[in-house]
A and B are shown apart, each in its own frame.
Chain A
Amino acid sequence: MGRKLLLEHINVPGINTLEVYRQKGGYRAVEKALKTLTPEEIVEEVKKSGLRGRGGAGFPTGMKWSFLAKPEGVARYLVCNADESEPGTFKDRYLMTYIPHALIEGMIVASFALGAKVSYIYVRGEMMPQIRILERAIAEAKAAGFLGKNILGTGYDLELYVQPGGGAYICGEETALLESLEGKRGNPRIKPPFPAIAGLYGCPTVVNNVESIAAVVPIINDGGDEYAKIGIGRSTGTKLISASGNLVKPGVYEIELGLPVEEFIYSDEYCGGIANGKRLKATVAGGSSVPVLPANLTLKYANGEPRLMSYESLSEGGFATGTMMGSGGFIAFDEDQCMVRNTWNFARFYHHESCGQCSPCREGTGWMEKVLHKIEHGHGKMEDVDLLWDIQRKIEGNTICPLGDAAAWPVASAIRHFRDEFEWHIKEPIKSQQQNYGIANYAVPIEKAPVTEEK
């Protein structure tokens, strides 16, 4: 059994309440941090832990905190990014639903370390039940003296609020999130300046993912050095993995980084193998935006060595033979799944979610969706595959925010690894139409297949 730091008490009845959470050692980190540590010492512990941002980028959290500008007389903010919208990723919903106090405790410790007097948890609007859970938990924490004025008699004041989003994937990008929190459209800002210098309301701001903030609690309780002993290489600690697709046991799992991918997929402790006795065809390891990998490269490197669940191992070989840890959104495709159809589905997602600010993304994502729709539904031409390759290359790296890359990589990797399947759809349109697409063994008739509306 792997060590659990975040989900250790997930099955304890009532762990979503302050009372039970405290019985299991909750809020010790707040007591320790506010009463015995300085903000600088907390930042140092997080640096020592090696914690990397769990939202997808994997940037070292302690280093991010240390970049925060601290001019006198200017407010500083901590904003939690709970705008979980990456297809394949649902760990933050799980954590907020079942252990809301873990996030709140982390927010208090991190806010103290950063000198924030007001902090916000920006939750995607669709998660209204989670918003209500968090608001109830915040009220409990405040009543117990962990929030508000003069927390635990230490003289530190903190107000914590939950902000609902309006339904836009782009608000998961930190500057778009800040725009949204300011009551505007979620258009990403040009960087620099980075939020650490000019973030919310133009003030120094740190934006961290839910899981990153929750991980601060065990880091403070046990020390950064202890946390760094878990994991492998520069992938320290534990990671929540959201597993979905054709698995026997989809769900949220906490793993020690460095676990072999094969063990994660096939062992009973985790996903229990591929559903319905089928074979694994491909995976997306870190949410829909990371490159898709065929089964053989998911389980092993090109040289035959086992691939591990770690930031370095998953990216081994670059995008030619590797992928990324991303947000830990692990999607498994069985042998019946149609990779063209899946690529079209993801392209539709990114077209729908493009904020429209940059032309390559606004125009390119829609163009890719249309070409993929055409191929998938038996109307493609052979040159369309090269056209798709050309379009994605013109999007990648040419936009203000990473949504352009996120839209390009699934298409690029699908062509790279499954070009035969694209060509088969073009050469044999009737057969490809008659195939079971694996969508619950249901092939959608052409006239019913929805295409994203024009913007």
Chain B
Amino acid sequence: MLKVEEQTPVVFSSELLAKFDDVITRYPADKSKSALLPLLHLVQAEFLWVSTSAMDKIAEYLKIQPIEVFEVATFYSMYFLKPQGKYAMEVCRTGPCCLVGAEKILIHLENKLGVKEGEVTADGLFSFRGVECLAACGFGPVLQISPEYTFYENLTEASVDKLIEDLKNK
């Protein structure tokens, strides 16, 4: 059972609402529910996760029921339903990446960051998790960092260390 804590109500900025409106123009007038996935992405890019309060606001905006947003947000793997690190790292753990060392990278991240998969470092900077195929199998191991989904290929333990240091000093 998913446990969602009560959240402070979120406020969507006028800039974010303008992006919502732009997305909604892509669909027929009576089909604005099609905007749901893109809107969830926009909210996550702004707040780094999607709270139930944000889901309710999206429902209000699209004139659909809150449960319609909740069932979508919980179905897809990209939406974070609890706060993540500022740099949420996702390492592909599927077959081809594992053939070239992905599992080693996941364990290295756990040791390096001192947190387990799904946890956030004390400074709030990092979290990581294994995800299923990122469609970059020839360049594995790979990881991506939301919300920009910047991509890092052909990972080694050394390149992961450098990446973490670079992000710390950013």
Chain A residues with CB under 8 Å of chain B are 75, 84-90, 92-93, 120, 124-129, 159, 161, 163-169, 180-186, 201, 242-246, 250-252, 288, 329, 331, 333, 337, 342, 345-346, 349, 352-353, 355, 438-440, 442, 444, 448, 450
Contacts and interface: CB of A to CB of B under 8 A. Distances in A.
B99 A333 contact: yes
A122 to B, nearest CB: 10
B135 A90 contact: yes
Interface string B6-44: 000000000000000000001010010111111011000
B151 interface: yes
25 contacts: A85-B132, A86-B133, A87-B95, A89-B137, A90-B135, A93-B135, A120-B26, A126-B78, A126-B149, A159-B26, A163-B38, A166-B72, A166-B78, A169-B132, A169-B133, A182-B34, A184-B72, A186-B76, A244-B140, A250-B139, A288-B94, A331-B137, A345-B93, A439-B99, A440-B104
A182 B72 CA distance: 11
B79 interface: yes
B78 A342 contact: no
Contacts of B147: 128
A331 B149 CA distance: 25
Contacts of B140: 244
Contact of B132 (A161, A201, A353): A353
B38 A439 contact: no
Given A129-B151, A345-B95, 8 more contacts: A87-B96, A129-B150, A164-B38, A201-B31, A250-B139, A345-B93, A439-B101, A442-B101
Contact of A201 (B28, B71, B101): B28
A163 to B, nearest CB: 7
B125 interface: no
B119 interface: no
Contacts of B107: 444, 448
A244 B137 contact: yes
Contacts of A444: 103, 107
Contacts of B164: none
B113 interface: no
B101 A245 contact: no
Contacts of A93: 135-136
Interface centre among A185, A331, A346, A440 (most CB of B within 10 A): A440
B37 A180 contact: yes
B99 A181 contact: no
B95 A342 contact: yes
**Best-buried of B31, B99, B137, B151 by chain A (most CB within 10 Å):** B99
A167 B38 contact: no
Interface string B59-80: 0001000001001100111110
A387 to B, nearest CB: 22
Nearest to A332: B99
B155 to A, nearest CB: 11
Nearest to A271: B138
A211 to B, nearest CB: 13
B127 interface: no
Interface centre among A159, A252, A442 (most CB of B within 10 A): A442
Contacts of A243: 138
B133 A244 contact: no
Nearest to A253: B138
Among B36, B77, B132, find the residue whose CB has the most chain A CB atoms closer than 10 A.
Answer: B132
A328 to B, nearest CB: 12
A450 B131 CA distance: 12
B135 A129 contact: no
Nearest to B90: A126
A125 B76 contact: yes
Contacts of B101: 439-440, 442
Nearest to B144: A126
B134 interface: yes
Contact of A88 (B62, B103, B137): B137
A38 B5 CA distance: 58
Given A168-B76, A168-B77, A185-B71, A331 B99 contact: yes
A148 to B, nearest CB: 14
Nearest to A201: B31
B105 to A, nearest CB: 9
Contacts of B132: 85, 87, 169, 349, 352-353
Contacts of A85: 132-133, 135
B133 A245 contact: no
B166 interface: no
A51 to B, nearest CB: 22
A246 to B, nearest CB: 6
Contacts of A442: 101, 103-104
Contacts of B95: 87-88, 288, 331, 342, 345-346, 349
Contact of A164 (B37, B71, B117, B130): B37
A243 B137 CA distance: 8
